[in-house]
């Protein structure tokens, strides 16, 4: 059930299709969203594959024993709070509360490069086609795009550009060092 009134009750986002490793696949994970009145320590986490907020993960220590739990990180939170437990998580999601909030890119890059996270790294929230190419550059390999947009169209966003100039998680060498320069010598 998807809550239409913002922050009035805890809800689970319905399972649907996502993009994972450049393919559209069924999603068996659900995302637990807390209402403003919920307490992270006492909120009930249902059985099954659930991605819980970082605050719930940090306060409900019994969740660490479950193999069907992932964690989502808000754009104002730090991935370093998961260090030591990071490699036990099958999925880490980063929430993009709005299209223009770019903090999630830095979180993803840090998870991959500094914390060496190897599992599924998923973008959730206000995720649109225009972002996917850049999200993959910083380490995302899964995308839960907005439900009101075409996931087939969003998948094309991963191939919008044939080259990237800058270095990033997916390309360690800048373009100028990857291309052979030829030309006339002026003298």
% of the chain at pLDDT higher than 70: 77
Cα first-last separation, the chain: 72
Q: Is the pLDDT of residue 43 over 60?
A: yes
Q: Is the pLDDT of residue 149 over 60?
A: yes
pLDDT, average across residues 30-38: 92
Strands 23-26 and 17-20: antiparallel
185 CB-near residues (< 8 Å, 6+ apart) = none
Q: What pLDDT does residue 117 have?
A: 95
**72 in Cβ contact with 95 (< 8 Å):** yes
Number of domains composing the chain: 1
Q: Is the pLDDT of residue 178 over 50?
A: yes
Q: Is the pLDDT of residue 8 over 50?
A: no
Give the span between the Cα atoms of 16 and 121, in whole angstroms.
17
pLDDT, average across residues 68-84: 93
Q: Is the pLDDT of residue 6 over 60?
A: no
pLDDT, average across residues 36-60: 94
Residue 184 lies in a domain: no
Domain span holding position 101: 11-178
137: CATH: 3.40.50
Residue 183 lies in a domain: no
Residue 101 lies in a domain: yes
Residue 33 lies in a domain: yes
Q: Specify the higher pLDDT residue, 154 or 160.
A: 154
118 CB-near residues (< 8 Å, 6+ apart) = 87
Share the mean pLDDT of the chain. 85
pLDDT, average across residues 103-115: 93
Residue 1 lies in a domain: no
Q: Is the pLDDT of residue 3 over 90?
A: no
Residue 73 lies in a domain: yes
- Residue (of 101, 97, 84, 93) closest to 125 by Cα position: 97
- Residue (of 131, 134, 112) closest to 121 by Cα position: 112
141 CB-near residues (< 8 Å, 6+ apart) = 20, 21, 120, 121, 122
Residue 158 lies in a domain: yes
Residue 32 lies in a domain: yes
């Amino acid at each position: 059930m998807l809550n239409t009134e913002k922050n009035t009750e805890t809800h689970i986002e319905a399972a649907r299709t996502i993009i994972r490793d450049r393919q559209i696949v069924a999603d068996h994970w659900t995302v637990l969203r807390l209402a403003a009145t919920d307490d992270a320590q006492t909120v009930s986490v249902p059985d099954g594959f659930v991605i819980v907020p970082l605050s719930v993960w940090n306060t409900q220590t019994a969740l660490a024993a479950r193999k069907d739990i992932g964690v989502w990180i808000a754009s104002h939170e730090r991935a370093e709070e998961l260090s030591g437990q990071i490699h036990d998580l099958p999925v880490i999601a980063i929430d993009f509360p709005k299209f223009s909030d770019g903090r999630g890119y830095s979180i993803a890059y840090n998870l991959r490069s500094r914390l060496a996270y190897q599992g599924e790294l998923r973008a959730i929230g206000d995720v649109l086609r225009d972002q996917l190419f850049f999200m993959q550059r910083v380490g995302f390999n899964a995308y839960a795009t907005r439900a009101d947009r075409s996931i087939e169209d969003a998948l094309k966003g991963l191939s919008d550009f044939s080259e990237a100039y800058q270095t990033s998680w997916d390309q360690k060498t800048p373009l100028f060092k990857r291309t052979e320069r030829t030309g006339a010598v002026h003298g």
